[in-house]
Amino acid sequence: MIDTYLIPLVKILFVLNATLIGVTYMVLLERKVIAWVQVRLGPMRVGPYGILQPIADAVKLILKEDITPTRADKWVFTAAPIIVMVPALITFAVIPFGPVVNLFGRQVPLYITDVNVGLLYIVSVASIGVYGIILGGWASNSKFPLLASLRASAQLISYEVAVTMTLVSMIMTAGTLSMVKIVESQYDQHLWFIFVQPVAFVLFFIGGLAETNRAPFDMAEAEQELTGGFHTEYSGMRFALFFLAEYANMIVVSSVATTLFLGGWLAPFPNVGWLSFLGYVPSWMWFLLKTFAFLYVFLWVRATLPRYRYDQLMRLGWKVLIPIAIANVVVTGIVKVLF
C-alpha cells in the first residue's frame, strides 16, 4: 500500500511543489541574471537581495482584477492558460531526477514513473501546449493576440518536427524510449551523449528555444511588435499562468536536455574508475546543476541576442534545422549499422 500509493503521491506532491517554486524563482533568477548582464541590480526591495520578490509578484497577480474582455469567448479564454500550464507540469512525471536510492531503509526511485514510451510521452504532451496559445490568442477576440497566436502555433508546429527528428537520432543512439534507460545507457557507454551527438544537441537547443518561445525566437509575445502577443488581453492570475507556463516549459526543456545529452543524474564521464570521487556529489545534485546551467544559457541568450523575424525563423526551421536533423538521423543510422 505504501509502495503503490503513498510514495508516488508524496513524490508527485513534492515534484509539483518543487516545480512551482522553481518556476517562480526562475522568474526572479531571470530578472537577476539579466540585470547583472546589464550592469544593474535587479529586484532588491522585497527581502534581502529581492529573494522574496516572487512571493510579492504572486500576491500581486492573485489580487489583481481578472479581466475578461466583453467580446471574448469566455470559456475558451478561461481554459487557455490552464491548457498551457497543465502539459508543462505533467511532463515532470517521467523525468528522472536520480537513480533508485535508499531512503529511510526503503528503495525509492527518484522519479515519479518510468514508462517505456517516456520520451514520446514528453513530445506528445508538449504538443498539447500549443492549444493554449492558439486558443488564448483566438479567444481574446483582438487583432494583435490573433496574429501572435498564429505566429506561435506555426512556430511551434514547425519546430516540433525538428526537435522530434533530433530525438529520433537520440533514440537510435540510446536504443530505448525510456528516460531512465537513456541515462543508464550513457552510464554504460561512459560518455554523455553530448559527445556522441553534438549536432543533435545544438539542434535540440535551438529547437528548445523556439518551442518555449524564448528569445531570440520570442516573436509570439514580442511586446515591441505585438504588444505582448497572445496574452495581451490577459491579466491577473490567468496572465500569471501563461507566464509561469513559459518558465515551466523552460525547465522541462532543460531537464530533457540534461537527461538526453548531459547524462541526467550522472557525473561527468560516469563509470570511469579514477573519476569515482565525483560520486560523492549526490546524483540529484548533478541533475540540478546541469539543468541550472542549461537554464542559465537560456537567460544569457535572452540578454544578448536581438529577435529574429517571423519569416526568418520559419526559414531557419524548415530549411536549415529540419534538413540537418534528418541528415543527422541518416548518419546516425549508417554509423549504427557499420559499427
Residue ranges that bind other proteins, judged by CB under 8 A: 34, 37-40, 73, 75-76, 79, 115-117, 120-121, 123-128, 130-131, 134-135, 138, 143-144, 146-147, 150-151, 153, 157, 160, 177, 215-216, 218-219, 222-227, 302-312
Smallest gap from residue 228 Cβ to other proteins (A)? 8
Smallest gap from residue 148 Cβ to other proteins (A)? 10
Taking the least distance from each CB to other proteins, the nearer of 218 and 246 is 218
Smallest gap from residue 304 Cβ to other proteins (A)? 6
State which H helix or E strand residue 306 sits in.
Answer: none
Taking the least distance from each CB to other proteins, the nearer of 37 and 278 is 37
Taking the least distance from each CB to other proteins, the nearer of 231 and 302 is 302
Cβ atoms of residues 311 and 158 within 8 Å: no
Taking the least distance from each CB to other proteins, the nearer of 85 and 146 is 146
Smallest gap from residue 240 Cβ to other proteins (A)? 20
Taking the least distance from each CB to other proteins, the nearer of 232 and 254 is 232
Smallest gap from residue 151 Cβ to other proteins (A)? 8
How many alpha carbons fall within 13 Å on the CB side of residue 88? Answer: 29
Report the alpha-carbon distance of residue 138 to residue 169 in Å, rounded.
36
Cβ atoms of residues 196 and 204 within 8 Å: no
Smallest gap from residue 160 Cβ to other proteins (A)? 8
Cβ atoms of residues 212 and 246 within 8 Å: yes
Residue 339: burial class (beta carbons within 10 Å; 0-12, 13-18, 19+): exposed
Taking the least distance from each CB to other proteins, the nearer of 279 and 323 is 323
Among candidates 318, 302, 321, which has minimal Cα distance to 221? 302
Residue 338's CB is within 10 A of a number of other CB atoms, namely 6
Report the alpha-carbon distance of residue 323 to residue 158 in Å, rounded.
12
Taking the least distance from each CB to other proteins, the nearer of 37 and 62 is 37
Q: Is the dihedral of CA 253, 256, 262, 265 positive or negative?
A: positive
Cβ atoms of residues 165 and 123 within 8 Å: no
Smallest gap from residue 164 Cβ to other proteins (A)? 8
Report the alpha-carbon distance of residue 205 to residue 216 in Å, rounded.
12
Cβ atoms of residues 281 and 98 within 8 Å: no
